[in-house]
Homo-oligomer: A and B are copies of this chain.
Amino acid sequence: MSALDILSRDPGSQARAGVLRTAHGDVRTPAFVPLATKGTVKGLEPRDVAALGYDMVLGNTFHLFLDPGAELVERFGGLHEFMRWDGPIITDSGGFQVFSMGHGTVADEIKGRASHGSDRSGAMLAITEQGVRFRSYRNGEERFLAPETSMEVQAKLGSDLALVFDECTPFHVTRDYTARSTERTHRWLRRCLDWHASNGPDGQLVYGIVQGGVYEDLRRESTEVVASSEVDGIAIGGSLGADKDQIYEVTGWATEVLDEHAPDRPRHLLGIGEVDDLIRGVELGIDHFDCAMPTRLGRHGMALVPDPESRWRVDLTGARFAEADEPILDGCPCPCCSAGFSRGYLRYLLRAKELTGMRLVTLHNLAFLARLMGDLREAILAGTLAETAAALRAGAAPGTLATPG
């Protein structure tokens, strides 16, 4: 039985709306999942995240493995108890971060940004069939992550939804490297599932990860391999392309295969969270997404606004906002805009590096995406996704569309 109850499918696209059942409660899908990288959504408390309407957060296995360590978190009763979030938690596998150190620029490439090297003082030392040896960015110690280690760490963290350990292949490697890497990822998938079958905590869902780079045959094959395994859900990872068109095309190859081979199982798109990407991802049949973008942008003073021309964002630190007394977004019900904080005040706080400024823009950005996903979900349930998606793409403010039906 799938963990996902699909309540409605959009007749004009691959989109679905439903409820993901987890050991710590339900997640309304499609959903954006905020990052609680190091056991906290940066600057917020769990009560804030819940009040914004989020059902689930994502903790990073790599960071928690290095600090404070899975054993310590386990001694506290697991990640839920440690961070005092009693709703569902996804943990990633650590693969993305560990391979980012090695490949240097995978994060930028996946997001289609210019390469500028790694900002980690850690380093990958060796990839073998067994796993990955690397140097910790925290203290220079040598550490080892293998499929079994990753699953064991995630078991100790006690997440509701674990991701298998994969090699996150970057964009700049050859087709041949991608093919060999994807095959290893499939062998690691088997080891993860075997470990989990014997040792995994009750009720923890496991998602496989589709790799294959930007090569259609490799992506389709990888999707089939993952879908034919006993995974509870499927995550789509790795380099999805150099630009948005390619990202959508590559994602579409995977979800097309999934519609055929695993139509009912939940799907996660890794590391994607720009507004237009979320809309398109939902149309492509993705159920949940995670991305550092809304929270990271918020800390740097970039606020989400319904403006496709500016990639849905505005840099509040700009000089033109020095005297701006309007909120980030008129009528926005978020804790920042509804309290009447002006762009001018936020600019002042952000330039002065005040924690409150980072917090307020983070709250706004997460509230914005929560409403966006809510609009998409409601539209799928009402059978009006095409109109809603068109309106949002044209710059309608999330949460302001007429109630469908």
**A interface vs B, CB < 8 Å?**
38-47, 67-68, 72, 75-76, 82-84, 322-323, 325, 335, 339-342, 344-345, 348-349, 351-352, 354-360
> Can you list the 5 inter-chain pairs with the closest CB atoms, starting with the nearest?
A43-B355, A40-B356, A68-B348, A84-B340, A355-B355
With beta carbons under 8 angstroms apart, the residue of B82, B349, B351 that contacts A40 is B349
Beyond A355-B355, A359-B359, 14 additional contacts (C-beta under 8 Å) are A39-B349, A40-B349, A40-B356, A40-B357, A42-B355, A45-B356, A46-B339, A67-B348, A67-B351, A67-B352, A68-B348, A76-B342, A82-B342, A355-B359
Chain B residues lying within 8 Å of A359, measured Cβ to Cβ, are 43, 45, 355, 359
In Å, the complex CA distance between A84 and B356 comes to 13
In Å, the complex CA distance between A33 and B67 comes to 37
With beta carbons under 8 angstroms apart, the residue of B42, B82, B341, B348 that contacts A356 is B42
B45 near A335: Cβ-Cβ < 8 Å: yes
Decide yes or no: A83 and B345 within 8 Å by CB, A45-B356, A322-B68, A323-B75 being known contacts: yes
In Å, the complex CA distance between A322 and B82 comes to 12
Closest CB in chain B relative to A252 CB, distance in Å: 37
Chain B residues lying within 8 Å of A43, measured Cβ to Cβ, are 43, 355-356, 359
CB-nearest residue of chain B relative to A138? B352
Chain B residues lying within 8 Å of A351, measured Cβ to Cβ, are 67
Query: How many protomers of this protein does the assembly include?
Result: 2
In Å, the complex CA distance between A348 and B83 comes to 10
CB-nearest residue of chain B relative to A340? B84
In Å, the complex CA distance between A200 and B45 comes to 42
CB-nearest residue of chain B relative to A352? B38
Decide yes or no: A76 and B325 within 8 Å by CB, A341-B84, A349-B39, A358-B355 being known contacts: yes
CB-nearest residue of chain B relative to A44? B356
CB-nearest residue of chain B relative to A358? B355
Chain B residues lying within 8 Å of A352, measured Cβ to Cβ, are 38, 67
Closest CB in chain B relative to A43 CB, distance in Å: 4
Closest CB in chain B relative to A394 CB, distance in Å: 32
With beta carbons under 8 angstroms apart, the residue of B46, B348, B360 that contacts A39 is B348
21 contacts between A and B (CB under 8 A): A41-B356, A42-B354, A42-B355, A42-B356, A43-B359, A45-B360, A47-B339, A67-B351, A67-B352, A68-B344, A68-B348, A72-B323, A72-B348, A76-B325, A76-B342, A82-B342, A83-B345, A84-B340, A84-B341, A355-B359, A359-B359
In Å, the complex CA distance between A341 and B359 comes to 19
Chain B residues lying within 8 Å of A47, measured Cβ to Cβ, are 335, 339
Decide yes or no: A344 and B72 within 8 Å by CB, A44-B356, A84-B339, A359-B355 being known contacts: yes
Q: Which of A38, A83, A345, A354 counts the most chain B CB atoms within 10 A?
A: A345
Closest CB in chain B relative to A22 CB, distance in Å: 21
Closest CB in chain B relative to A170 CB, distance in Å: 27
CB-nearest residue of chain B relative to A75? B323
Chain B residues lying within 8 Å of A344, measured Cβ to Cβ, are 68, 72, 76, 82
